[in-house]
Every structure is written in structure tokens, then in C-alpha cells.
Structure 1
Amino acid sequence: MRSYKAKMVEPIRLPSREERSRNLAAAGYNAFNLDAAEVYVDLLTDSGTGTMSDAQWAALVRGDEAYAGSKSFHRLAAAVDDVMGFEHVIPTHQGRGAENVLYGSLLEEGDVVLNNTHFDTTRAHVVNQGAAAVDCPVEGAWDRSAEGDFLGNFSVERARGVVDEVGAERVPVVVLTITNNSAAGQPVSMANVRATAEFAEEIDAAFVIDACRFAENAHFIRERESGFEDRTLAAVAREQLSYADAVTMSGKKDGLVNIGGFAAVRDPDLAELAKQRAILYEGFPTYGGMAGRDLEALAVGLREAVEPPYVAERVEQVATLGELLSEADVPVVAPTGGHAVYVDAGDLFPGIPPEEFPGQRLVCELYREGGVRTVELGSFAFPDADRPDYVRLALPRRTYWREHLEHVAGTAATVRERADEYAGLEIVSEPPMKELRHFTAELRPL
């Protein structure tokens, strides 16, 4: 049983199959180009698509819209300090704003950034600063047959190899993404957080945690790592962040809001640099691109995110979708992570080579067959990365019910049954920055 009930609903409609086929062609076979009204079950992302609580809606009313020094900012700063343990907070319009503010303050041309796995906007912000983004996943991170409780971990061994090659002076930042979104949403252990922090200190690099799913990661630590089963979720969540010098946060994930984010740091000098950059790109440092009402909702959401049973129910729903897909013989990464189920499109469509984007073809057919919108995180989204052609089915928080999950699984089963009928895709147009091409590029069937 869920620990909440619905107080507001939104009607949704499943367009006819003919409509869906026309919509797909008009969108250039890119689900990002579809209108939301054309989608039945939207699993494109869990970023900002969830349902806020009544306490968050109530908080909106007391938003202080003062340009500087608003009461709402101070309430957010207090929540960040209490929940995450950081004194200096620079609000931004969302997570990529936090990446811009922080990495623009830390990186220079020719630098190298190490990460367990860079996500798309993180990689793009690193590249935009003239730096190189290098992934250091553990062995088996992208192997669906691999076993392990924490396949999202950072490989210190791989990172040392990079440092030996380029020199420690060229690696000013080490990043840990929790959970590891690009590696099928797999969690990171507390032991690995500590080891990564020690490695960063050893090479005199700033240790940054991408904390957008920090509560989900803490849940996995409590469930899977010895010594944490009797700790509160809030205590585990705070400890995993205590080893970092800074965090970037998309409030649209474990902040449980529809917009907003922040960078938080320990060093007051770095905080001042980030604030000045925030003024240029985001807004005054006490609102940072957010309205006061959004600051208020985020302050409440951060506290709700570490309260049971929210996270347990959240992770359980993702696991349920994974089980339904597995029962339909759809190849998924197991065990599932905290925010999404990842389907192996390369396995589902063995006749479509990576250069013809089997993952993007799966995205298209899930929409055509059932109005389900998802996202490809393989050769189309990451053109220069050697990783499998996964498709992510990201569940919005507190939004869908089991019947929606059953519809998704039934749709995927239909696609699997017709797998031999599909050909690959080719790109017709794409933006100049290839790291972001999957957002707007258009394709056509071969």
C-alpha cells in the first residue's frame, strides 16, 4: 500500500496508433520533439516530472519574492545544511545551472575531469570549459550479466591510470554521480564514496558529488551495505555527502520539485567564485533563477526525500516495473536502480548495429505501439562513449500507478514480439555540439 493518496488528477489520453505514427514522423523520430499531449505514459525522465506533496503546495504560498535576501532562500539554506551538511548554498534554476556555476569556477582549458560516469549535461559542461571528461566505471558497470550490489562505483584503479598518463596537476576535479545514472542507475557504496574522496585528496583535486539522487543512493546503502542497516536514512544520506568538497543538485529529482537546483560548497572562497558566476548566468545568489515559491517547495522536498517510507516505495515501484518487463521477456538490467529501468536494446534488436541506433529505434516503437515515451542512453546520446545501447524508462515520483506500469510492460512485450521487423535509423540533422545531439537531432528510418 502506498503511504499517500491522490488529491489532484490530470486526464491523459492514448492517441490512436495512426496518430502516434504521424506524430513520430513529424518529431523526426526523436521523442524529445513530441508534445506532452501526444504521450500516454511519459517515462522520458524523472527530472521535474513528479508530484509534489500538499506540504510543498502549501509552502508555495509563503514564497518570499524579494530579489535579495529572501526568507525563502534562508529556509532552503537551512534545509541544505540540515539534510546535506553544506553551509554555502548557491541556488540555480536546475541541475545544469549548478554544473555551469561550479565547473565554470573550477575548470580551465586542458583540464581532465574523472567521474564514475558523466551524464549528458555534466559531460557537456566539462567539454564547454575546454576540459576532457573521462569515465572511470568499475568492471561490469555496463555488463548486464555482471553481479554486484554497487556496480555504480567509481574505479579508483582506472582513475590512477589516467592520472599516471596525464599528471595529477591536470586533474583538478573528481566527480562521483550517485546513483550512477548513465550506468543503469546503479548505486554507489559508502566504502566507495570514502575511497574516492581519499583518492581526490591524494591528487589534490576537489571532490564533487552529483547528488541529484542522493536519497535513493542512501536507501541502497542501508539495504545492501553491512553496518548501515540500523542507521536512519537521513543519517546515511548525510554521511555519504560529508566526504565531498562540493555537490551539484538537481532539485527536480530527490528535491521532489518541478524546477530548481543548487550548488553547495564548503570552501568560502569557492563559494564566492560560484556566486559571482551565478550572478552572470542565473541571478542574484539568494534566488539563482528560482522564484521564492520554488525555493520554499525545494526546502520542504529535501526534508521529505529522506523520510521513510517515501524512498522505499519509490525504489519498490521501479523494481516492480523491472519485474513486469522481465516477465514479458524484455531484456532489462537487473537488479534495477532507484529511478529507472534500463532495457538493453542491443539485445532486443540484435540485427540493428550500434551505428544504426537500436536504442533510438526502441524508443520510437515503444511510443508507436503504446504511447510510451522513453529516452535512449547509448550510441545516439553518447556518440564517443563505448557503452551498450540502453533505453531508460524513468519513473516520475509519486505519479503513476501499477496499471500504468502494466501498460508499459505490455507495450514492450508487443515490440519484442515484432523485433525482427524493425530496421535502424540514420541522423538527418543534428546540432553542432554532439554531446547534446539527442535532445534535438532528427532521424529517419533506414
Structure 2
Amino acid sequence: MVAYKSKMVESISLPPRDRRERNLEAAGYNVFNLDADEVFIDLLTDSGTGAMSDSQWAALIRGDEAYAGSRGFDRLESAVEDVMGFSHVIPAHQGRGAENVLYGTVLSEGDVVPNNTHFDTTRAHVANQGAEPVDCPVDRAFDPDASDPFKGNFSLERAREVVDDVGPERVPLVIQTITNNSAAGQPVSVENTRRVREFADEIDATFVVDACRFAENAAFVRRREEEFADREIDEIAREQLGHADAVVMSGKKDGLVNAGGFVATDDADLYERCKQRAILYEGFPTYGGMAGRDVAALAVGLREAVEEAYVTDRIDRVAAFGEMLADVGVPIYGPTGGHAVYLDAGSALSHLPAEAFPGQAFVCELYREGGVRGVELGSFAFPETDRPELVRLAVPRRTYSREHFEHVAETAATVLEKREEVVGFEIAAEPEIPELRHFTAGLEPLA
């Protein structure tokens, strides 16, 4: 049952096909370069694109814009402690700002950082400190047909191989991302988090949880991990996050806001060190690059994210979207995760080799055929990594209805019908940072 009703609407329209064709060419066949007004249904990301609740809007209007010591920060601090269990909070303008604060504080040249799977900005922040990001997914993480309940888990076996290879002194930090965005949004079990905690203790490393989608992960834990079948979502979240030394958070995901993020910890020394870097890069520690109104809305959003009605509807809505796509023959990664449906572009466009970027080709065809914007998360986004050719259709929170998702499924089915006509791409221009090339690189269709 839907857990909310609409109180505000926005008109959208599908641009004509010839205009969509011109838009693609002008964008260098990179949908990040499209104007949002030229997109009919925007599934590029679930980060900051959702609809806020009436309670959040009320908090937004009543926000305190004091530079230091605002009442909004007090409410955020209280929400983080109640919902996530951490007493120290350092706000940032968004998740990557929080990553800069934390990873810039604890990492040095030559360090090695295991993660169940690094996402793009995390990988870039680790590399930017001169450290080496190493992915440690479980064996079947990238098998789209495997039905394992926790394909997002961290592989302790792979991580121990890393430590054996480089030595524990070069591994000061271990990260676990929940849910595992780069592995198709798959959840992570609490038992796996406990084992990663033990591993971090063994090598005397700081254990960080990337908690962007912690509430969605907790909902999967309750459904799939027997120990937690009768526990409340907020209890599960606190249990899982409680094993970490710190969390890095984009409030634009399970904070249910359009801007903001934070680092949270119970480690007083780490808090003080991060706070100084935050002052340099983000702002005073009680606003951290956010407007006071956004701090207040985030405090409300964190509490709403663990409400039973909301998070159940969220998980079920994404699953229903995945079923629509599968029903029309679109190969998807299963089981569906909590924030997006991932299409198996390598299978859908099997005539295109990886070097022709089949995922990016599918993304462009979704826009060409139906004005739908998704994002490639395969060899274009993650060069020199062994990733499947996936297309992520991220679902903004509390935004689109069933009819919108039906349009996306119909569009994807049309792309499949014309698959033999779809051509691949080559890169025409790219930035210097390879981990971030998919944001701005330009492409050209292959002859």
C-alpha cells in the first residue's frame, strides 16, 4: 500500500523525437550533459532527486540560518544519535564533501583501502589521497542471475589476500558500503558487518560504513536475515551501524533531502581531526556547507527514512519496477536492490563488445526512444575494472507513479526490438581523472 499522497505536482512533457536526437548529439552522447527540461522521466540518480514530506517542508521554512550553533544542528545531532547511534556529527554539503572530510583526514600516500565495492566518487577520493582503492565483492556479486540474498557483502577472503600482499600497516581503513551501489544496489547482512568489524580489529584499521542507503539495507536485513525477522527497522539500522568506527553519509539518499551529508562517529579524536578539515573545505562544524534550512530538513528526513510505512513502500516500489521490465523481456540484475533497477546491457546488446560501451549505448537509446535518462555503470564509468555492463535506473524517492515506470518499461522493450540497429561508442574527449570520466566525457558513435 502506498504510504503517501501528492500535495504538489510538476508538469512534464516528452520532447519530440527529432529534438531528442539533436539533444543527444549536442550532449556528446553523454546524458549527464542533457538539460533536465529535455528529459521526460529522469532516473539518472536517486541522489537528491526525491520529494520531501510536508514535515520536512515545515522544517525547511522554520530553518535557523545562524552561522554557528543553530537549533537545526541540535536537531540533526539528536536525529543522528537516535537513528544511527553516533554522538558526534560533522555536516557537509553532500556525500562527496563528507568523503573528502573523512578520507582526507585518515588516508595518506601509499595506503590501500578495501571496500566491498567502491562507487565512483569514493574511488576517486581514495585515489586523490594517493591511496589505492581495492574492491572485495563476494564471488557472485556480479552474477545477474544469482539469487543470493546478500550479494552486496564484503569478501573477507579477498580482503585478507590484500593484507597478506601489502601488509597490515598499509591498510589503515576498511570501508563497507550499504547497500552496495556498484554491485547493483545489493544489500549487506549484519553478520557480514560483524565479521568486517572483527577483520578491522585484527589489522588495527578504522572501520567506516558508507551509510547512504542504511535504511533500505535494514529493510532487506529484516526480510532476509532470520535473526532480525521480528526487529524494527530503526533497531536493525542501529545494530548494523554500531559496528563501525564512523559513517560517511549522503543525506540526499536515505536522508530524504535535496542537499547535505555528514560524517558521524563516537571517536572523539577522529571527530576533532575531521572537524578541522571540515572547517577548511566545508564550513563551520554546525552547518558544514549546508543552509540551516537544509540541516533542519535532514534531521526530519533521517527519522522518516526508518519509518515502517515509508521504507516498505520504497523497497516494494523498486521491486515492482523490476518486474515490469522483466515482464517485457528486458534482462535485469536480480534480485532487485533498494534504490534502482539495473539492466544487463551486456546481455541485451550482446553484439557489442565491452570496448564499444554497450551500457552507454543502451542509455542513449532509452533517451532516444522515450526521453528516459538512466546511467551507465559498466566499462565506461569504471575503466580498468572487471565489472558487468550495467545500466542503472535509479528511482527518486516519492516522485514517480506506476504509469511513469510503465513508460520506462515500454521504452526499454522498444530498444530491445531494435537492438541489432544499436551501435556502440568511442570516447572523443575525457577528463584527466579516470574515476570520474563518465560525468563529463564526450563520445562519438562507431561507424
2:319 corresponds to: 319
| RMSD (Å) for aligned C-alpha atoms | 0.6
Whole-angstrom CA distance in 2 between matches of 1:81 and 1:350: 48
TM-score between the two structures when normalised by the length of structure 1: 0.99
Equivalent runs, 1:210-221 vs 2, <5 Å: 210-221=210-221
1:97 corresponds to: 97
**CA displacement, residues 288-325 of structure 1 (integer Å, 9 cap, x when unaligned):** 00011000000000000001110110011111111010
Equivalent runs, 1:323-362 vs 2, <5 Å: 323-362=323-362
**Cα deviation, residue 147, structure 1:** 2.5
Q: Secondary structure at the match of 1:227?
A: helix
**CA displacement, residues 210-233 of structure 1 (integer Å, 9 cap, x when unaligned):** 000000000000001012111111
1:402 corresponds to: 402
Whole-angstrom CA distance in 2 between matches of 1:357 and 1:417: 19
2:17 aligned with 1:5, yes or no? no
Q: Secondary structure at the match of 1:209?
A: strand
Whole-angstrom CA distance in 2 between matches of 1:384 and 1:88: 37
2:265 aligned with 1:269, yes or no? no
Whether the 8 Å contact between 2:333 and 2:341 is mirrored in structure 1 is yes
1:182 corresponds to: 182
Whole-angstrom CA distance in 2 between matches of 1:3 and 1:62: 25
Supply the AA of the counterpart residue of 2:242: S
Q: Which runs of 5+ in 1 are unaligned?
A: none
Q: Secondary structure at the match of 1:161?
A: helix
**Cα deviation, residue 17, structure 1:** 0.7
**Cα deviation, residue 194, structure 1:** 0.3
Q: Which runs of 4+ in 1 moved over 3 A?
A: none
Whole-angstrom CA distance in 1 between matches of 2:109 and 2:251: 29
Supply the AA of the counterpart residue of 1:313: D
Whether the 8 Å contact between 2:112 and 2:170 is mirrored in structure 1 is yes
**Cα deviation, residue 62, structure 1:** 1.6
What is the number of residues matched between the two proteins? 446
2:422 corresponds to: 422
**Cα deviation, residue 266, structure 1:** 1.6
Supply the AA of the counterpart residue of 1:203: I
**Cα deviation, residue 369, structure 1:** 0.2
Supply the AA of the counterpart residue of 2:394: A
**CA displacement, residues 327-384 of structure 1 (integer Å, 9 cap, x when unaligned):** 1110001110000000010101111111110000000000000000000000000001
**CA displacement, residues 155-175 of structure 1 (integer Å, 9 cap, x when unaligned):** 001100010000000000000
Equivalent runs, 1:55-74 vs 2, <5 Å: 55-74=55-74
2:24 aligned with 1:24, yes or no? yes
Whole-angstrom CA distance in 2 between matches of 1:377 and 1:134: 17
1:302 corresponds to: 302
**CA displacement, residues 54-73 of structure 1 (integer Å, 9 cap, x when unaligned):** 00000012211111111111
2:82 corresponds to: 82
Supply the AA of the counterpart residue of 2:98: A
2:194 corresponds to: 194
**Cα deviation, residue 145, structure 1:** 2.3
Whole-angstrom CA distance in 2 between matches of 1:265 and 1:206: 11
1:292 corresponds to: 292
Whole-angstrom CA distance in 2 between matches of 1:346 and 1:228: 36
2:249 corresponds to: 249
**CA displacement, residues 114-139 of structure 1 (integer Å, 9 cap, x when unaligned):** 00000000000000000000000001
**Cα deviation, residue 10, structure 1:** 0.5
Q: Secondary structure at the match of 2:58?
A: helix
Whole-angstrom CA distance in 2 between matches of 1:315 and 1:370: 25
Supply the AA of the counterpart residue of 1:296: A
1:143 corresponds to: 143
Q: Which runs of 5+ in 2 are unaligned?
A: none
Whole-angstrom CA distance in 1 between matches of 2:346 and 2:125: 28
Supply the AA of the counterpart residue of 1:272: E
1:440 corresponds to: 440
2:234 corresponds to: 234
TM-score between the two structures when normalised by the length of structure 2: 0.99
**Cα deviation, residue 144, structure 1:** 1.2
Q: Secondary structure at the match of 2:226?
A: coil
Supply the AA of the counterpart residue of 2:248: T
Whole-angstrom CA distance in 1 between matches of 2:145 and 2:262: 36
Whole-angstrom CA distance in 2 between matches of 1:145 and 1:440: 32
2:428 aligned with 1:431, yes or no? no
Whole-angstrom CA distance in 1 between matches of 2:431 and 2:34: 18
Whole-angstrom CA distance in 2 between matches of 1:234 and 1:268: 24
**Cα deviation, residue 77, structure 1:** 0.5
Whether the 8 Å contact between 2:146 and 2:334 is mirrored in structure 1 is no
Whole-angstrom CA distance in 1 between matches of 2:54 and 2:432: 43
**Cα deviation, residue 269, structure 1:** 1.0
